[in-house]
Structure 1
Amino acid sequence: MCIIIHIRRCIIMQTNIVIDDKLIEEAMKITGIKTKEEIVNIALLLSKCCLFPCLD
């Protein structure tokens, strides 16, 4: 019997990125999300799930 265990490591790192403020504001209004950080994190997760579903 083969048992596969997935261990996810959460690495948090701070970075500076240039983002269109109008786009961020629009996303915050539409979603109700209150922080830029959370908007970026959600966008990254969505792009990973939608664009690269076989990588999970």
Structure 2
Amino acid sequence: MSMPRQADLQFLASLVEAGKLKPVIEREYALAETAAALGHVAAGHTQGKVVIAV
């Protein structure tokens, strides 16, 4: 796994702030549903990001 560079992260953050880059959130799970979230990802059904709300 590669480590992101600070300059790259700042560039991406500026795109998000400008509304030019929007992450696709497929589904949000509660913390208590973490096992279900991991199962969903492991099954290969994701087409966006899976969020676990804390």
Q: Which has the higher helix share?
A: 1
TM-score by length of 2: 0.30
Q: Which has the higher strand share?
A: 2
Structure of greater relative contact order (alpha carbons < 8 Å, 6+ residues apart): 2
TM-score by length of 1: 0.29
